[in-house]
Structure 1
């Protein structure tokens, strides 16, 4: 990938990430509290719905940038001799690689953010310091595996669907899709992916919020899913599905639309500059 494309992906990804994380933060807080083991009301209800936002604000730009740099690079790397029927597979591989890299930044931010969301009386830096003191760096990466196991299936659904919807829309109107059309495709793709991966999101939330040293904190996703199923059944596995779908549908609209718009603008400016 050439330097202008690299820079455009980095900046556009960061702008898209910050936009969606800050705009939709209240919905994310409600979703986290619905999935919390102590229940929605004890986790804070509708109070302090911006608790943990400093962690999201700090982590969102580098997280999204890392994802899209990797995503675009792997797409470019695999593009040689590409066949149309293999394109969804290449999008899946690119998205999976992007998630593995981005989670190195996302998980510490997510751990601190979710702890703050369910204990709104504690400050973000206080929670961060407490995790480091009690559990060290490993505590900040608790739930890394469960997050990757959530994000990869999510991306395997979202990104090929997004690319396919854009290609179909482009074919129907006989020209490239506009940024708003890309955003609409992103909303559909994100909402559907959010619905089918909610149980994995529930497991990730439980692992991140569990007390240090508990069996849940060990990070066994299947064990956590089985425990949720045993106690709460299907409703427990899909706790928070509607705010998650709403947040990610809106997020897909903002995130992928902002990414396409910003990247196109930056590439255009790069071509015009001497």
Structure 2
């Protein structure tokens, strides 16, 4: 197994991340407003569904690039035989490592973006400077732990399932999957992972949107989940599950398909010029 190219992983990951974040931004806004403490209508309803898009546009490329650089290199370091029963474990560890690194970029972007999504009248830069003034750097990383605790279980499901589905499809047709087939596998894996991790996403949203100084803002995932369960029950824990599944299924199709396609093209170019 050749060591993955840094440039190929960076560019392919960045292109995939930017594509999916910008295309599916309206669905993400609707999901955030469904999960917000003040409710969907008060958070903006269907108005201004591109509020916060600037922060997503700025952060999506480096966020996804950081994930895939880490993911591919950890996979390479943990190389196992293709028939090894440890292969899913390798993908789990690689995906978890990628999420921890990517969240260093993702969380500040997510904090600014989600506050803009539920306050469409405020500008992204104003929200960013306001967080720094009131809470300092820790304010930009509010919800880091809850985001990592959401993303790692999500990746533990999505990436081994994606890799396994690709391997199965490749075996059935006796050749490596095409990019569109990788995209289909990504859509299924993403939608399934999105459904079962929605309560963690609700907790993350509540922590990021909580008033400064409140108990929820302290960042306790269990406390946030308990609060939602006590006030809204099971429906509250799965608020926004359908737009989340729709967004992440479509996102998985675009994100993982675009990543495979771009990575393959760059690898071919590299071989042609070597």
TM-score, normalised with respect to structure 2: 0.98
3-state secondary structure, aligned to 1:212: coil
Equivalent residue number for residue 95 of structure 1: 95
Equivalent residue number for residue 66 of structure 1: 66
Contact 2:4/2:73 (<8 A) preserved? no
Displacement, 1:5? 1.5
Contact 2:145/2:219 (<8 A) preserved? yes
3-state secondary structure, aligned to 1:51: coil
Equivalent residue number for residue 79 of structure 1: 79
Equivalent residue number for residue 186 of structure 2: 186
Equivalent residue number for residue 25 of structure 2: 25
Q: Deviations over 1:70-111 (max 9, x none)?
A: 000000000055652110000000000000000000000000
3-state secondary structure, aligned to 1:106: helix
Displacement, 1:3? 7.8
Alpha-carbon distance in 1 for matches of 2:28, 2:190: 14
Equivalent residue number for residue 155 of structure 1: 155
Alpha-carbon distance in 1 for matches of 2:191, 2:72: 22
3-state secondary structure, aligned to 2:142: coil
Alpha-carbon distance in 1 for matches of 2:155, 2:60: 17
Contiguous gaps of at least 5 residues in structure 2: none
Contact 1:4/1:270 (<8 A) preserved? no
Contact 2:27/2:244 (<8 A) preserved? yes
Alpha-carbon distance in 1 for matches of 2:220, 2:4: 42
Equivalent residue number for residue 49 of structure 2: 49
Contiguous gaps of at least 5 residues in structure 1: none
Contact 2:4/2:72 (<8 A) preserved? no
Contact 2:80/2:86 (<8 A) preserved? no
How many residues align? The count is 274
Alpha-carbon distance in 2 for matches of 1:80, 1:237: 38
Alpha-carbon distance in 2 for matches of 1:22, 1:243: 15
Equivalent residue number for residue 237 of structure 2: 237
Alpha-carbon distance in 1 for matches of 2:156, 2:81: 22
Structure 1 stretches of 4+ moved >4 Å? 1-4, 80-83
After superposition, the Cα gap between the structure-2 partners of 1:105 and 1:209, relative to the gap in structure 1 and judged at 3 Å, is same
Contact 2:80/2:87 (<8 A) preserved? no
